[in-house]
């Protein structure tokens, strides 16, 4: 079978949307770090729509920082890939043309660093996942003992992290007198703009003697904007079946398609230090205040997702849609959202009830094969903003935290690496070894396991392990989950809210 490429575009089967703009005229003004599926189901699609509208100045050079898999898959395809939108019962394929080039840091370091420093680069966007920021989730500060940060500080001109690459580029631009770009975090971090700024500021401060530039930190703070964003589109990992389905629809093989849902949302703080694409013309919301959107999404969508991942994974549900078929678990998710909603100031013009209903419908989309194991990854990096932030709010207001504590307990139980049916649950987390080691060392005592896990200050801070109400709620929940199981816990009045 032929392979998707620029040349093959006109030979695709009917019914597949293809770029109607002249890709040869496309300029490249965005460098994107983290070329994974989420970037390609979200920002690259908005940018493709913009080009469909005639503005072809905003092509994207997408770089993966670790695995060469994506660049190897997309280079022979001239950067083209298929977006397969999966609704219950309906599917649509669209070929996306906005990636002008895809590279891998290990193989094309010189090119990537040159493009980061090039005057034509207006925006550097990021989807590097929570752990890519090398920060301490509880405090939001740079993790100065992170091995990748230490390696970058030892050789700051040849960095391996996104943080190191950005600061090296800022230094180079400053040296050559080149105007600043904008740094656009598109990850599910708390206050992602402020967080990436804080981490970059500290790294620049530590790196500036090495660069022989005592003014680097101040220069960054004065000239480079890091707008906050809220990004949303559920993007499950692609399977072999998806690739076969795409090949059937296109009539050619695509080695790196992306599968997603119809829903997409992007809210961007309108505070750029460079020129920017008119993403608002293609569905994005540019606003002065992104924080309310971010918190709403992190606590209602992502918080529910993590709950479904740990409780559902333990109960043996492999996908979110299957977990949502369990009436007790679905009911719990609704109550968890109610609890989280009390900690939020909803963004102007957003109706809580409608938002909640749309989330539940999205979770129930049975056409998406969204694995609970995918969401369960990196719990140490995700729980602070999704579950522990609402816990702190509720504790401060004297409200109970039973349901959120049940999610924490499910995570602790999940760290044992076995579902209730004995299936292996992979623990994929940068702190995984330390966490599973601590759980194993604590032995069977519930109090011991809770103490061991809550002792991870990078996750729980110094406050939560000392909060008796929180600790007792987690202990109670872990006790039930360990002795009676998830199903029994979910039918208890404390968690059902009756």
Structure tokens at 377: 């990854």
CB 134 within 8 A of CB 162: no
Question: Taking contact as CB under 6 A, which single stretch among the options 231-239, 286-294, 442-450, 485-493 is the one that binds ligand CS2?
Answer: 231-239
Kindly state the smallest distance separating residue 233's Cβ from ligand CS2, in Å.
5
Please provide the size of the chain in residues.
498
234 forms part of the interface with ligand CS2 (CB under 6 A): yes
Q: Which is nearer to ligand CS2, 99 or 308 (CB)?
A: 308
Q: Can you tell me the distance from the alpha carbon of 480 to that of 239, in angstroms, rounded to the nearest whole number? A: 36
Q: Is 117 in the site for ligand CS2 (CB under 6 A)?
A: no
Number of residues counted as binding ligand CS2 (CB under 6 A): 9
From the CB of 440, what's the least distance to ligand CS2, in Å? 25
The region of 232-240, 335-343, 406-414, 435-443 touching ligand CS2 under the rule CB under 6 A is: 232-240
CB atoms under 10 Å from CB of 21, counted, come to: 17
Give me the least distance between CB of 452 and ligand CS2, in Å please. Answer: 24
Residue 241 CA to residue 251 CA, distance in Å, equals 15
Residue with token string 């103490």: 451
Site for ligand CS2 (CB under 6 A): which residue of 273, 302, 319, 343?
Answer: 302
**Binding of ligand CS2 at residue 139 (CB under 6 A)?**
no
Nearest to residue 369, comparing CAs of 424, 305, 321?
321
Which single residue brings its beta carbon nearest to ligand CS2?
305
Min dist CB 303 to ligand CS2, Å, is: 9
* Number of helices and strands in the chain (H, E): 25, 11
**Residue 71 CB, nearest distance to ligand CS2 (Å)?**
22
Binding mask 373-412 for ligand CS2 (x = CB under 6 A): -xx------x------------------------------
Q: Which is nearer to ligand CS2, 216 or 329 (CB)?
A: 329
- Which runs of E-coded beta strand occur in 37-161? 59-64, 81-87, 90-96, 99-104, 123-126
233 binds ligand CS2 (CB under 6 A): yes
- What DSSP string describes 341-394? HTT--PPTT--HHHHHHHHHHHHT-TT---BHHHHHTTHHHHHIIIIIHHHHHH
Q: Which residue has the tokens 């770089």?
A: 63
Nearest-CA neighbor of 15 among 93, 78, 68?
A: 93
From the list 49-57, 156-164, 226-234, 405-413, the region that binds ligand CS2 by CB under 6 A is 226-234
Q: Does 290 bind ligand CS2 (CB under 6 A)?
A: no
**Contact status, residue 268 vs residue 286, Cβ threshold 8 Å:** yes
The answer to whether 311 and 476 have CB atoms below 8 angstroms apart is: no
Q: What's the min distance (Å) between Cβ of 261 and ligand CS2?
A: 9
The window from 58-66, 227-235, 246-254, 272-280 that contacts ligand CS2 (CB under 6 A) reads 227-235
- The minimum distance between CB 319 and ligand CS2, in angstroms, equals 12
Q: Does 188 bind ligand CS2 (CB under 6 A)?
A: yes
**Among 101, 202, 305, 413, which residue interacts with ligand CS2 (rule: CB under 6 A)?**
305
Q: Does 299 bind ligand CS2 (CB under 6 A)?
A: no
Distance CA 155, CA 167 (A): 12
Q: Which two tokens stand for residue 301?
A: 């969508």
Contacts to ligand CS2 by CB under 6 A? 188, 232-234, 302, 305, 374-375, 382
């Amino acid at each position: 079978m032929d392979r998707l490429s620029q040349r093959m575009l006109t030979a695709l089967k009917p019914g597949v949307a293809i770029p109607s703009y002249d890709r040869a005229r496309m300029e490249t003004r965005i460098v994107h770090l983290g070329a994974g599926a989420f970037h390609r189901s979200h920002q690259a699609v908005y940018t493709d729509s913009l080009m469909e509208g005639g503005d072809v100045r905003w092509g994207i050079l997408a770089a993966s920082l670790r695995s060469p898999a994506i660049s190897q898959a997309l280079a022979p395809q001239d950067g083209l890939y298929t977006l397969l939108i999966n609704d219950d019962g309906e599917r649509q394929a669209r070929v996306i043309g906005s990636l002008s080039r895809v590279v891998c840091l290990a193989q094309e370091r010189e090119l990537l660093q040159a493009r980061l420093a090039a005057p034509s680069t207006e925006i550097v966007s990021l989807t590097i996942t929570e752990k890519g920021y090398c920060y301490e989730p509880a405090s939001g500060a740079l993790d100065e003992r992170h091995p990748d940060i230490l390696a970058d500080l030892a050789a700051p001109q040849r960095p391996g992290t996104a943080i190191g690459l950005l600061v090296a580029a800022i230094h180079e631009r400053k040296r050559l007198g080149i105007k600043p770009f904008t740094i656009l975090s598109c990850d599910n971090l708390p206050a992602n703009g402020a967080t990436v700024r804080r981490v970059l500021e500290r790294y620049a401060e530590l790196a500036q003697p090495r660069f022989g530039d005592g003014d680097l930190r101040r220069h960054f703070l004065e000239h480079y904007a890091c707008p906050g964003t809220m990004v949303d589109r559920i993007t499950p990992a692609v399977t072999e079946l998806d690739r076969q389905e795409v090949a059937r629809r296109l009539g050619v093989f695509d080695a790196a398609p992306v599968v997603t849902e119809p829903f997409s949302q992007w809210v961007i703080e309108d505070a750029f230090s460079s020129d920017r694409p008119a993403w608002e013309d293609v569905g994005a919301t540019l606003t002065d205040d992104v924080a309310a959107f971010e918190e709403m999404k992190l606590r209602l969508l992502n918080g529910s997702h993590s709950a479904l991942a740990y409780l559902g994974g333990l109960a043996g549900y492999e996908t979110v849609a299957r977990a949502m078929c369990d009436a007790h678990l679905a009911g719990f998710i609704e109550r968890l959202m109610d609890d989280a909603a009390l900690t939020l100031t909803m963004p102007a013009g957003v109706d809580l009830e409608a938002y909640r209903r749309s989330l539940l419908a999205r979770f129930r989309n049975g056409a998406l094969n969204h694995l609970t194991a995918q969401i369960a990854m990196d719990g140490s990096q995700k729980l602070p903003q999704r579950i522990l932030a609402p816990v702190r709010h509720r504790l401060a207001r004297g409200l109970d935290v039973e349901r959120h504590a049940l999610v924490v307990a499910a995570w602790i139980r999940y760290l044992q690496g076995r579902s209730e049916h004995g299936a292996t649950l992979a623990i994929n987390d940068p702190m995984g070894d330390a966490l599973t080691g601590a759980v194993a060392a604590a032995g069977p005592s519930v109090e011991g396991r809770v103490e061991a896990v809550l002792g991870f200050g990078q996750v729980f801070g110094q406050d939560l392990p000392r909060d008796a109400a929180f600790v007792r709620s987690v202990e109670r929940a872990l006790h039930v989950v360990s002795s009676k199981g998830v199903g029994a816990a979910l039918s208890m009045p404390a968690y059902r809210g009756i």
